[in-house]
Amino acid sequence: MKIVAALMLAFMLAGCGFHPLYGAGLAPQLATIYVDPMAERDGYELRNTLIDLLGSNGRQAGKAYHLTITLKEGKEGVALQNDATITRYNDTIAASYVLTDLNGKPVTQGSQTSLSAYNVANSPYATLEAQQDADKRAAQDIAERIRLDLAAFFRQRK
């Protein structure tokens, strides 16, 4: 009975148009994307993570596409003590991206947002370290989501 159910599920997935991104041969296309530098600290982390995820070498020469990313960052105190001291922050990073071809014509665009949180410690250094770590994780999360968006875009073009 389990074998019949597994076979039925496999046939249903095959008929629904589901196509996995992994193993789809998209690595060569993703490697042709040049990620433009960004000035923000989180932009530096985002760019380097994207270069690694896309399999790009970080150099502009020989690239068929340019990826331009604009970041917006926000900070909000969410946990307060009785004396109005903030003990926890939520940092929001929003990234809007545009992928252009060699002629500068937009090919696709999108946006991703990530929320990171950190606690305020008694030590200013520990608080700064917690904030930077939270922002680094958020930038890495956005990079992974942008890579998935681009892979889905290139998969649809096949």
Please state which of the ranges 12-16, 88-92, 107-111 shows the lowest mean pLDDT. Answer: 12-16
- Res. 23: pLDDT tops 50: no
Would residue 53 count as lying in a domain? yes
CATH, residue 100: 3.30.160.150
**pLDDT average, residue stretch 121-146:** 92
- Give the range of the structural domain holding residue 141, as residue numbers without chain letter: 25-157
According to DSSP, residue 121 is labeled P
Would residue 92 count as lying in a domain? yes
- The pLDDT tens digits of the residues spanning 58-77 come to 777 778 899 999 999 888 88
Would residue 10 count as lying in a domain? no
Q: How far is the C-alpha of 3 from the C-alpha of 115, rounded, in Å?
A: 42
Would residue 35 count as lying in a domain? yes
Would residue 18 count as lying in a domain? no
In the chain, the number of structural domains is 1
**pLDDT average, residue stretch 79-92:** 83
Would residue 58 count as lying in a domain? yes
Q: What angle do helix axes 41-54 and 124-157 make, rounded to 10 degrees?
A: 40
**pLDDT average, residue stretch 48-52:** 93
Would residue 105 count as lying in a domain? yes
- Res. 15: pLDDT tops 70: no
pLDDT of residue 22: 53
- Mean pLDDT (the chain) is 85
Would residue 119 count as lying in a domain? yes
